Amino acid sequence: MTLQEKVGQLNFPVGDLFMTGPTMETTQSDKFDDQIREGKITGIFNIYGASYTHRLQKIAKEESRLGIPLLMGADVIHGLKTIFPIPLAEAASWDLALIEKTARIAAIESTAVGINFNFAPMCDIGLDARWGRVAEGAGEDTYLTGMISAARVRGFQGEKLSDADTLAACVKHMAAYGAPEGGRDYNSVDMSERRLRETYLPAYQKAIDAGAATVMTSFNDLNGVPCTGNSFLLKKILREEWGFKGMVVSDWASISEMAVHGTAKDHSDAAKQAILAGTDMDMMADAYINFLPGLVESGEVPLEILDEAVYNVLKLKYDLGLFDNAYLYSNEVTEQTKVFSAEHLAISREMAEKSIVLLKNENQILPLKQSSQKIALIGPLANNRPDMNGTWSFFADANAPVTMLEGLQNLSKNEVLFAEGCALYESTEDKFEEAITVASQADVVILALGESAVMNGEAASRTDIGLPDNQLELAKRIHALGKPIIVLLSCGRPMAIPWLAQNANAILVTWALGTEAGNAIANVVYGNVNPSAKLPITFPRNVGQVPIHYQMKNTGRPYLGLNNEPASERIYVSKYRDSPNSPQFPFGFGLSYTRFKYSGLEASADRITNDERLKISVTITNMGEREGEEIVQCYIRDVVASVTQPLLKLRKFAKIKLKAKAHQVVTFEIGRDDLLLVNNDMQWVAEAGEFKVFVGPNTLDLQSLNFEYQIN
Q: Which sequence positions are flagged as catalytic?
A: 251
Alpha helices of 320-431 — where are they, by DSSP H?
332-337, 342-355, 386-389, 404-411
Q: Is 131 a binder of ligand NOJ (CB under 6 A)?
A: no
Told to check if 78 binds ligand NOJ by CB under 6 A, we report no
The residue among 250, 251, 264 whose CA lies nearest residue 21 is 251
**Shortest Cβ distance from residue 118 to ligand NOJ (Å)?**
9
Q: How far is the CB of 56 from ligand NOJ (least distance, A)?
A: 18
User: What span, in angstroms and rounded, lies between the C-alpha atoms of 197 and 691?
Assistant: 21
**556-592: buried (b, 16+ CB within 10 Å) or exposed (e) per residue?**
eebbeeeeeeebeeeeebebeeeeebebbbbbbbbbb
Answer yes or no whether residue 75 interacts with ligand NOJ by CB under 6 A.
Answer: yes
Compute the chain's Rg from CA coordinates: 26
Applying CB under 6 A, does 117 fall inside the site for ligand NOJ?
A: no
Reference 704, options 634, 610, 619, 638; nearest CA is 634
21 binds ligand NOJ (CB under 6 A): yes
Q: Residue 393 CB, nearest distance to ligand NOJ (Å)?
A: 13
Q: Does the protein bind ligand NOJ through residue 387 (CB under 6 A)?
A: no
Work out whether 204 is an interface residue with ligand NOJ (CB under 6 A).
no
Q: Please tell me the distance from the alpha carbon of residue 32 to that of residue 621, in angstroms, as a whole number.
A: 62
Residue from 20, 223, 383, 619 that binds ligand NOJ (CB under 6 A)? Answer: 20
CB 119, min distance to ligand NOJ, A: 3
Nearer to ligand NOJ, 256 or 551 (CB): 256
The residue at minimum Cβ distance from ligand NOJ is 20
Asked if 257 touches ligand NOJ (CB under 6 A), the answer is: no
One residue of 198, 251, 257, 516 binding ligand NOJ per CB under 6 A: 251
* Shortest separation between residue 441's beta carbon and ligand NOJ, angstroms: 46
- Per-residue binder mask for ligand NOJ (CB under 6 A), 315-344, x = binder: ------------------------------
119 binds ligand NOJ (CB under 6 A): yes
Q: Is 458 in the site for ligand NOJ (CB under 6 A)?
A: yes
252 binds ligand NOJ (CB under 6 A): yes
C-beta separation of 317 from 69 below 8 A: yes
Q: Which is nearer to ligand NOJ, 172 or 272 (CB)?
A: 172
Q: Which is nearer to ligand NOJ, 19 or 560 (CB)?
A: 19
- Based on the shown chain and the rule CB under 6 A, indicate whether residue 172 belongs to the binding site for ligand NOJ: yes
Asked whether the beta carbons of 140 and 549 are under 8 A apart, the reply is yes
Amino acid code (one letter) for 685: V
Q: In 3D, which of 525, 522, 520, 523 has the Cα closest to residue 505?
A: 525
With CB under 6 A as the rule, give the number of residues binding ligand NOJ: 8
**Closer Cβ to ligand NOJ, 249 or 289, answer by number:** 249
Sheet holding 71-74, edge to edge: 43-45, 71-74, 117-118
CA–CA separation, 700 and 551 (whole Å)? 12
Tell the smallest beta-carbon distance from residue 216 to ligand NOJ (Å).
Answer: 6
What amino acid is encoded at 455 in this protein? M
Are β-strands 485-490 and 444-450 bridged in parallel, bridged antiparallel, or unpaired? parallel
Using CB atoms within 10 Å of the CB of residue 421, give its burial: 0 to 12 exposed, 13 to 18 middle, 19+ buried: buried
User: Is 653 a residue that touches ligand NOJ (CB under 6 A)?
Assistant: no
What's at 44, amino acid-wise? I
Please say whether the beta carbons of 286 and 295 come within 8 A: no
CB of 455 to ligand NOJ, least distance (A): 18
Our CB check for ligand NOJ shows the closer of 117 and 668 to be: 117
Q: Judged by CB under 6 A, does residue 12 bind ligand NOJ?
A: no
Residue numbers of the site for ligand NOJ (CB under 6 A)?
20-21, 75, 119, 172, 251-252, 458
